[in-house]
Structure 1
């Protein structure tokens, strides 16, 4: 339960153990429902093999009562003795400043800034996160750590260790790939690839084709090209949704390239990008088909090598194959605003050689251009032509799958 009760999105946490079962802050249920409904939703997701990630706010706490703070010589809103769960009943010494330390890496919104070097916060938070993993309480599997710029990376490392080192991702809102790399190394967690997000924004929103497409391969401009095992790539989210043109070009890259891609639910369910409105052979050109390509053609884990990166208008890369059922693919993305782009590339993927290749996914935002490229034959040496429509892409693999 949060300070703003039934109106809160969850970023002003008050009682960590109130998931919609206590009457406080003006409501019993949270904005999203009751604890029973949360548990039922998580159980249903898991029945379909979907892991559930909790959004964890560790930087600050909100809604405490006023109490005298001997460190400041005045009153602060740091008494949580009144939480109805009766747990994590912190006082001023669990926040900055206290007798142990004055501050940490950052604060947010004027809320009391949690200190993990003194007081009860460190041990209580480990206990709470372990509680969240239990199905009788919630049943979460993994963590998204909010605003990790506000506290030390060792806090994330220790919280992960206390909960079995599950998959975790940190929201480090910065495009500096060196900073992202350092945080991922020190915390042991993955990190959102804001660098790639802003690189793709510059390319996609430049509808005249003036962006430099090979920048997506530059390890200083894309964390997925620096440390793909720790990069969580995205095209938009609830905080930032600034790619307003040719967003499918960005999805074509993140869903077929290295890293751990995520899909913004509004893009899929609200903005019509799930199927994309394609026509022709019936395969369509939306997010759903790109997911199919990643899962079916690259077994969910593409092994990427670059085939073309010396032209500002178009790039090409391949995923290695795993079997005849998952033979890999070749991706071409075209930034040009008016012309089809492509040409010969040479693949090392033996599953594609001596085969006719078909474009299983494609797209173009240009009127009259949104249709599948023609099939192409890949020679025994791996030489094959690949083509994509203006401001579009194509994903080629063995015909007949």
Structure 2
């Protein structure tokens, strides 16, 4: 969709009593009015923590809040009926739903099995550091609460390749099961970054691949969602999704927009993965997020290079740009939250440009009470409105100063000038079109700041210290 905007519809500290599915459904008209074209919902299936699990500690993919498992029927976000009603409400309003897909691991097994395994070096998982030994592992998943509804598949140790706990000795370390090897075409951190957590799925096992593929067809059939957000793709062999995604699109005759989470600050790792999956998906632009973080924490950061070596600069059609997400919240392991004084600049850089598919974070839109993060809805509403009305036509960049940068979007009917800084403000002369000569442009965020466009179509646009400004033609 032209000028589409994705909303990540959750943060890490959503409370079970909020009943997120119902809460989101109540906001469908507001979110439509704001201009969101798609909504990314959190993992909808039962996790090891029951109704306190965010969904990333996957237990039963087939339990969308329907069965009494792990201490509750509902998930953290509500029941299956609530979930399906939420999806229907948004898609009836023309807002596509993207489901969060977590296939890397499983947790909370229903029983243990005895297997032979060897310990590996946590910092180089290719290095075996013990002899074969018998260990007792939580790898038996029978889902008694579901009683074989939807699938009678039983998970055994041989559907996985490793685990990080031995019940017999109560040791927390990474074990590689006998006659197994880590999956290939994964990230190269720790030698081979197949293993992340829990019981790690073995994607070289045909039964494993068949079961998760069957589940994904079931999930798409029951939800009718329009897109996927794939969790932890750097821990899953690239060939799996490279083969699966085209088949799904053919089966459903849908675009099935897909974005993967490959968390790495080096854009060349992202580029390599895109090539491995034959560009069958987009990726979140993690390098750009880290550029925002660096720019917001150092006045010496060179803003003229903020898009250098980012995914949106190299592969704009495969880049989902974002400012923050649930993993970058202050208390999370990837904490790199963008502070308030740079939040507006960062959102201008993703929402008011031609390239990339921007994603707005629910925590920025609605606030996060647990972490005392205030809502930025007023600012976001205005920036998103400007995107809808003015983010068209040519784009001229003025990234010619280490602190004060700007750009314009213009066609024969409308024009917009954006200028921002992480340090000292100033004036930047930018072209908005000769057809606007002798017109006044006004800062949408401070109406006292007006600029007269000269005969050549240029204006001298002012920005205050550590701030941003967006100028559009003054309404008569």
| TM-score normalized with structure 1 length | 0.84
Number of residue pairs matched? Answer: 367
1:289 pairs with one of 382, 386, 391: 382
Maintained 8 Å contact 1:18/1:85: no
1:58 aligns with 2:103: yes
The residue that corresponds to 1:130 in the other structure is 217
Cα distance, 1:92–1:273 mapped onto 2, change above 3 Å: same
Cα distance, 1:33–1:245 mapped onto 2, change above 3 Å: closer
The residue that corresponds to 1:205 in the other structure is 297
Maintained 8 Å contact 1:100/1:117: no
Maintained 8 Å contact 1:129/1:163: no
Counterpart CA distance in 2 for 1:102 and 1:355 is 70
1:267 aligns with 2:349: no
The residue that corresponds to 2:417 in the other structure is 330
Counterpart CA distance in 1 for 2:365 and 2:158 is 45
Question: More strand per residue: 1 or 2?
Answer: 2
1:148 pairs with one of 233, 238, 242: 233
Maintained 8 Å contact 2:441/2:451: yes
1:251 aligns with 2:378: no
What RMSD in Å do the two structures reach over aligned CA positions? 2.4
1:377 pairs with one of 452, 457, 465: 452
The residue that corresponds to 1:305 in the other structure is 396
The residue that corresponds to 1:45 in the other structure is 90
Between 191-200 and 240-249, the greater mean CA deviation after superposition: 240-249
1:69 aligns with 2:130: no
Counterpart CA distance in 1 for 2:470 and 2:194 is 45
Counterpart CA distance in 2 for 1:77 and 1:98 is 13
Cα distance, 1:344–1:200 mapped onto 2, change above 3 Å: same
Deviation, 1:71, is 6.6
Unaligned runs of 5+ residues in structure 1 are: 276-285, 363-370
Counterpart CA distance in 1 for 2:242 and 2:409 is 32
Counterpart CA distance in 1 for 2:197 and 2:428 is 56
Cα distance, 1:185–1:381 mapped onto 2, change above 3 Å: farther
Deviation, 1:156, is 2.4
The residue that corresponds to 2:282 in the other structure is 190
Counterpart CA distance in 1 for 2:408 and 2:358 is 17
Deviation, 1:23, is 1.3
**1:11-50 aligned within 5 A:** 11-50=56-95
**1:342-361 aligned within 5 A:** 342-347=427-432, 353-354=436-437, 356-359=439-442, 361=444
| TM-score normalized with structure 2 length | 0.71
2:47 match: secondary structure: coil
2:348 match: secondary structure: helix
Unaligned runs of 5+ residues in structure 2 are: 1-45, 119-133, 162-175, 187-192, 250-254, 330-336, 368-373
Counterpart CA distance in 1 for 2:427 and 2:447 is 14
Between 261-270 and 180-189, the greater mean CA deviation after superposition: 180-189
Superposed CA deviations along residues 43-98 of structure 1, whole A, max 9, x for unmatched, are 11112221111111111111222123367754332222335262242222221156
Superposed CA deviations along residues 285-320 of structure 1, whole A, max 9, x for unmatched, are x11111111111125xx75331x2221121111224
1:162 pairs with one of 244, 247, 250: 247
Maintained 8 Å contact 2:60/2:143: no
The residue that corresponds to 2:426 in the other structure is 341
Q: With a CA cutoff of 8 Å and minimum separation of 6, indicate the structure with the bigger relative contact order.
A: 2
Counterpart CA distance in 2 for 1:56 and 1:359 is 44
1:125 match: secondary structure: helix
